Amino acid sequence: MVLEVAEIKITPGQEDAFKEAYRAAREFVKVSPGLRSMRMTQGVENPGRFVLLIEWDSVEAHEQGFRETDRFPKWREAIGPFFAEPPFVEHAVDID
């Protein structure tokens, strides 16, 4: 299992619109093979900072099962207009 961590900074004043767009667009991701769980968090001290946490079976499940499909451009089209800058995305694994 790998954890995708995406830090997303939203243009000030667009937080509520981003949340609505995310709620509608998350279905593009949720149907991906190899997806285990998905959640979005919003900063308390900095409400324009969101962190997307997705558990995948593998990095390949993320990249090939989602990013290389026609669902990824639809996802980005829905939420991308709210980005203040490109998201920072990386993968992590648990330490036993």
Q: What is the pLDDT along the chain (96 residues), one digit of tens a residue?
A: 999 999 999 999 999 999 999 999 999 999 999 999 999 999 999 999 999 999 999 999 999 999 999 999 999 999 999 999 999 999 999 998
Which sign, positive or negative, has the C-alpha torsion 7, 56, 61, 79? negative
Q: In what order do the strands lie in the sheet with 49-56?
A: 35-42, 49-56, 2-9, 88-92
